[in-house]
Amino acid sequence: MSISTSFFRARIVTNIEERDLETVKCIYYPDWSEIDSSYQTFGRCNDKGQNFFYCSNYFEATLKELNPNHKDLVMVGTFDPKIENTKIRCQFAGIETLKRYSHSDSILQNYQYQNERDRNIEKFIGSKFQEKILPHNDFQYKLTIAFSNILLNDDDTGCLIYPSVASGLKYSNYGIKPNYVDELLYCTGVYIYRVEKSNFAYTLIPYKYSSYIHHNLNNHKTSIIDWKENNRTDKVKRYSL
């Protein structure tokens, strides 16, 4: 896959000190070696303690996967390739679903299975990536974690693309190995919103944004953020639930 788009990554900001927001590390993948094991969780693709970078090329998918509550503070980072049209080798889970929607990567549109057995195997794997897992049941990710480790076992493969369950399968999620993130991507902007959540929609009220990022080319995660208050009503975002 050629990377020619921005990726969006989001997190909920809770009990965080100002010094923790000084650099773009605050929106990167969590480094579990620096975090108490009691806070470690399973993800769709990662085991406990396994670093992984989750993102989407659609803001809406990123927000809905995060599923913030009313009054939460949400931080969103945009990530772009360091070199335009950088190529990264990918695997896919849920090919038929990804092909069904116009938002999916066009490289799948003409994909052909080698035989019916391959089709059935992919259908089974894809179905597991499309199961909705309830909060506090993250142990149910164990099967997709195993599949992810198999699909990404090759050192030359850096990304797994699968349908976004939270957005009704309309968009794609990207799971990228941390070393590929460090090598190929950099954070180009960080934004914090206050969330107003009704029965029908999310409303994101601008709170702060990175007016400038002092990029450290040697270790981008240490790039310093100049934060600025944001009260522009024209920057309010709304998304239906």
CA 187 to the chain's CA centroid: 13
pTM for the structure as a whole: 0.92
Residues 6+ apart with CB under 8 A from 173: 44, 54, 55, 56, 61, 65, 161, 162, 163, 164
C-alpha gyration radius of the chain: 18
Domain definitions of the chain by residue range: 2-240
pLDDT for 107 beyond 80: no
Q: What pLDDT band is residue 4 in, cutting at 50, 70 and 90?
A: low
Report whether pLDDT(16) > 90: no
Does 170 or 106 have the greater pLDDT score? Answer: 170
* Per-position DSSP letters for 138-197, written without gaps between them: GGGGHHHHHHHHHHT-STTEEEEEEE-TTTTTSSEEEEE-HHHHHHHEEEEEEEEEEEEE
Q: Which is more confident, 241 or 195?
A: 195
Long-range contacts of 45-51 (CB under 8 A, 24+ apart): 45/141, 45/144, 45/145, 45/148, 45/152, 45/160, 45/175, 46/145, 46/148, 46/175, 47/145, 47/149, 51/178
User: Which helix (H) or strand (E) is 122 found in, with range?
Assistant: helix 116-129
Let me know: does 161 contact 173? Beta carbons within 8 Å: yes
Amino acid at 58: Y
